[in-house]
Structure 1
Amino acid sequence: MTSLVDQLIVLVMLINFAALGSGRLAVAIRAVAIQGVILGILPILVHSFSWHLVVITGGLILAKGIIIPWLLTGAIVRARISREMEPYLGYVPTLLIGAITTGLSFVFAARLPLAPEHQGLLFVPAAIATLLTGFIVLVTRRKAISQVIGYLMLENGIFLFGLLLTEAMPVMVEAGVLLDLIVGIFVMGIIINQISREFSSIDTSRLTTLRD
């Protein structure tokens, strides 16, 4: 079981690079959707079986793997965009930065004062790497939808780290985190819709030219 969990966590980190290196928004959305499904499966593999864990797992897979990607796909169809054009930083430099931050995540995680049962696990370095990858996507992409994808990856990193604390986290807190994510995505969806309705582009860099 531990081997399967490690393989899934490695897959999560590989998906980070897929999101960093792809200019096609549909590919990035699918990558984040697969990452969300994997994160939805992990709790039931890591912790002992319970019905509330099954409900949380089903909700996570439904939200992260189906509903949110479906909403984002609808947004790019309505906005009539398919690619992230002219990002602030090119894809090769972005991948190099992602590789460096992933390596540094392992170094930093090894220095953290973790509980003995958590030392040597891939959860912490993978969580830090996913957090940093989400931040890189947020600051290097122009399209609002790409930045939503970065926000999703940030949340995935937080969730991955939180898997170490799932047994101590009550159901309402878990549901609250998921609700915050869904509300955040809906807010971003409204913003994207308004930008595409009022302007000819959803390039967020053009918002700096707005004047009273």
Structure 2
Amino acid sequence: MQQRRLWQMALSLFLLVPSTIHAQNPSSLEKSTIERLEIATDWLVRNGAFVLDMRGKEFLKSKLTEQGPVLLWVTPQVDTKDTIAQFRIKAGGYNYDIEAIYRETLNDQKIVYWVTHITAQDWVTPLRGCRFHISTPQDDGKQIVLLSSERFIPSYKTAKGVVFALPQDDLDILYKLQAWRFPMCFSGTDLSKNEVTHDAQGRLTTAPATSFEGGCCTNH
């Protein structure tokens, strides 16, 4: 009898304590995942190319795993034929595709323009948006971020008053911006009205955008 009463008391206590799994709030978990990806994105813009050059891909992957964990799931590229720098990371159903799409030297200062496209898998809360960074490399190869935003940055004025402007008539840059797929990031501009694709000969061509992949913004 006493053993039965003890079992009933234990069962009552178990029912009063919520299951660890069911007690977790999915939106909180997703928010935590997104925050990790945001931190990793900022870190990669500042340090990714430098670390990759000095320590290699495997070290870079392990560094992201330590910080996150965040998975570097596509081989990163730095200073290849068609790419300045590109890192693709993901975690918990969310993907952040980070790329340096333009760089220019103004008055001996190198300036780099980055765009990050954010998407979500079907099995998590929808999320879609962008991050834009403008940076300048230091002597040691690391980047200092001069400006960042969730909205398109058309230009930046340096401390010396020189204007760094992203060319908006360059089809390669427009293709990498993907404005027609992420119109919420380009409000106040006409960039999302046209789609840039490759024709049968592999050349970039532009045409009016007919549709875009929907989704919510990245405010969280």
Q: Tell me which protein shows more helix as a share of its residues.
A: 1
TM-score, length basis structure 1: 0.28
Q: Which has the higher contact order (CA 8 A, sep 6+)?
A: 1
Q: Tell me which protein shows more strand as a share of its residues.
A: 2
TM-score, length basis structure 2: 0.27
Structure whose CA Rg is larger: 2
